[in-house]
Structure 1
Amino acid sequence: MSAPLVTILDDEPAIRSMLSEALTEAGFRTLAFSRATEFEAALKRSPPDVCLVDLGLPDRDGLSLVHRLALEQGAAVIIISGRAQVQDRVTGLELGADDYIIKPFDQAEVVARIRARLRGPRRGAAQGTTARFNGWTAHFDRYALEDSEGVEIPFSQAEGEVLRLFLESPKRLISRAQMQESLGGAAGESFDRAMDVRISRLRTKLREDPKNPRLIKTIYGAGYIFLGEVDWS
Structure 2
Amino acid sequence: MRKILIVDDDQKTRVLLKTYLEKNQYEVVLSHNGESFLAELQTHVDQLSLVILDVMLPDTDGFALCKQVRQRSNVPIIMLTASSDETDRIVGLELGADDYIAKPYSPRELLARIKAILRRTAVETPAIRYYRFVGFTLDLKERKVTDSAGTPLALTGLDFQLLKYFVEHAGVILDRSVLCEETRGRDSGPLDRSLDVQISRLRVRLNDDGKQPALIKTVRGAGYVFSAEVNVSHA
TM-score by length of 1: 0.50
Secondary structure of the 2:29 match is strand
Query: Which amino acid in the other structure matches residue 32 of structure 2?
Result: S
Structure 1 match to 2:101: 101
Distance between the aligned counterparts of 2:125 and 2:51, measured in 1?
21
Q: Would the aligned equivalents of 1:7 and 1:30 in 2 still touch at CA under 8 Å?
A: yes
1:6 matched residue in structure 2: 4
1:138 paired residue number: none
Q: Sort the Cα spacing of 1:24 and 1:125 in 2 relative to 1 into closer, same or farther, 3 A.
A: closer
Instruction: Using the aligned pairs only, state the percent identity.
Output: 31
User: Counterpart of 2:9 in structure 1: which amino acid?
Assistant: D
Instruction: Please report the RMSD computed on the Cα atoms of aligned residues, expressed in angstroms.
Output: 1.7
Matching residue of 1:29 = 27
Q: Tell me what 2:62 maps to.
A: 62
Alignment-mate amino acid for residue 80 of structure 2: I
Would you say the 8 A contact 1:81–1:103 is kept in 2? yes
SS of residue paired to 1:49: strand
Structure 2: runs of 5+ lacking an equivalent: 127-235
Q: CA deviation at 1:92?
A: 0.9
> Quick one: distance in 1 between partners of 2:93 and 2:103?
17
Report what 2:84 is aligned to.
84
Structure number with bigger Rg: 2
Q: How far does the alpha carbon of each residue in 1:51-71 deviate from its partner, in whole angstroms, 9 at most, with x for none?
A: 110011111132111122123
1:1-233 correspondence to structure 2 within 5 Å: 3-47=1-45, 48-121=48-121, 123-124=123-124
- The residue identity in structure 1 corresponding to 2:91 is T
Residue 143 (structure 1) aligns with: none
| Length, aligned pairs only | 124
CA distance in 2, matches of 1:125, 1:5: 14
What runs of 5+ residues in structure 1 fail to find an aligned partner? 127-233
CA distance in 1, matches of 2:36, 2:95: 22
TM-score norm. by structure 2 comes to 0.50
